[in-house]
Amino acid sequence: MKGKSTKHSRLKLAKYLNEHLCSFGNGFENKVICPTCVKEFDLNSGQRSFTAGHILPEASGGNEWTFLCKDCNSQFGEKQDKWLGEYLNILNNPMGTLLDAKTKSRYISINDKTVNGSISVSDVDGGIDIALPINRNPPGKLESMKFGENLEINFEIPLTLHENEIAVGYITAAYLMWFNEIGYNWVFQSSLDNVRKQILNCNRDIDGAKVIDLPTDKMEMQGVGVIINSGTLYPCCVVVDKLVVFPTPPTVASPTPKNVKFESPCNIEFLNLAVLNFPYLTLFDGYHVVVPNRLRKCPPIPDKLFNIYSEQGKEAGLFSLVNEDMTNLTN
Ligand SMILES: [Zn+2]
């Protein structure tokens, strides 16, 4: 969803997701599942459980949102969203530097003495301004210091200590962009269990998705896609200046992105997908892209196959899987 979230638009989305969910099997009547913690919530439990989770932090101008449960949303707000938001605000500002980060350290070490002050980039000449207000330091402390020609100045930039939260922020945004594209077809994949662990524990070191820097000339496109590397397809997503690479679907025993060196991360095929109201497999040039293997249906197989080709002029198509033996896809 785009724009401002209101009580009405949140409820509309929850109802829509419930209808979508019901196509995955029985037992989802009046239920909505949070895409990140995969907990079930009752549509009738009122508005408390349904919150609008922004895909990119609202503080950095993100206006696209989706459904998240209240717990996930507030947890992300304090961790990944906070630091990704600060990072994106600097990125969005052509003159931005790390010193412009919202969270600043108040402590500066000058010739090994720690004092309270603030650091900023000078508007006049681009140099660094250091302000040491007397009233923020113990009486007499600043006066007792010798400011000679040679000053050794050290200070911390809090944002640089939160690279983990920034990376998980990108992973969370990419995961939710896929959810916005294809709904629970994305969520019901066991290959994403570790990605959800990364998101919920805010720990990029868990072996799930991988975040790769994009060259600056590749940043104009954004969205979901695939990348094929050494004969393996990985679902991916471009988020602002990064490429997030997800593990391959559960049918294929392939290395996880963490252990793969991507030689040409810019060879991205963007995909045009749509939320279709039934479970379906997605293939790209014969490679599995999305395999929802956690259906409640009996037998637990997707109904349809959505086939996409890289070749120009070859239209993507939807095929019925009713008579096909897809049981090997559900392990
Ligand atoms: Zn949740």
- Position 177 scores a pLDDT of 95
Q: 41 alpha carbon to ligand 1 midpoint, in Å? A: 9
pLDDT in tens, 286-298: 899 999 888 776 6
The two structure tokens encoding residue 119: 């650091």
- Position 98 scores a pLDDT of 82
pLDDT in tens, 46-60: 667 788 889 988 878
pLDDT in tens, 241-257: 999 999 999 877 777 88
- Position 46 scores a pLDDT of 64
Residue 19: pLDDT over 50: yes
Strands 304-308, 280-284: pairing kind: parallel
Q: 61 alpha carbon to ligand 1 midpoint, in Å? A: 23
* 218: confidence class by pLDDT, cuts 50, 70, 90: low
| Nearest C-alpha neighbor of 143 from the set 134, 152, 135 | 134
Q: 44 alpha carbon to ligand 1 midpoint, in Å? A: 17
By the CB criterion, residues less than 5 angstroms from ion ligand 1 are: 34, 37, 69, 72
Q: 329 alpha carbon to ligand 1 midpoint, in Å? A: 27
303, 321 contact by CB (below 8 A):
yes
Task: Give the total residue count for the chain.
Answer: 331
Alpha-carbon span 131 to 95, nearest angstrom = 21
Q: 317 alpha carbon to ligand 1 midpoint, in Å? A: 33
Alpha-carbon span 86 to 280, nearest angstrom = 38
Q: 34 alpha carbon to ligand 1 midpoint, in Å? A: 5
pLDDT mean over 269-289: 86
Contacts of 36 (CB under 8 A, 6+ apart): 68, 69, 72, 172, 175, 176, 196, 199, 200
* 101: confidence class by pLDDT, cuts 50, 70, 90: confident
Residue 68: pLDDT over 50: yes
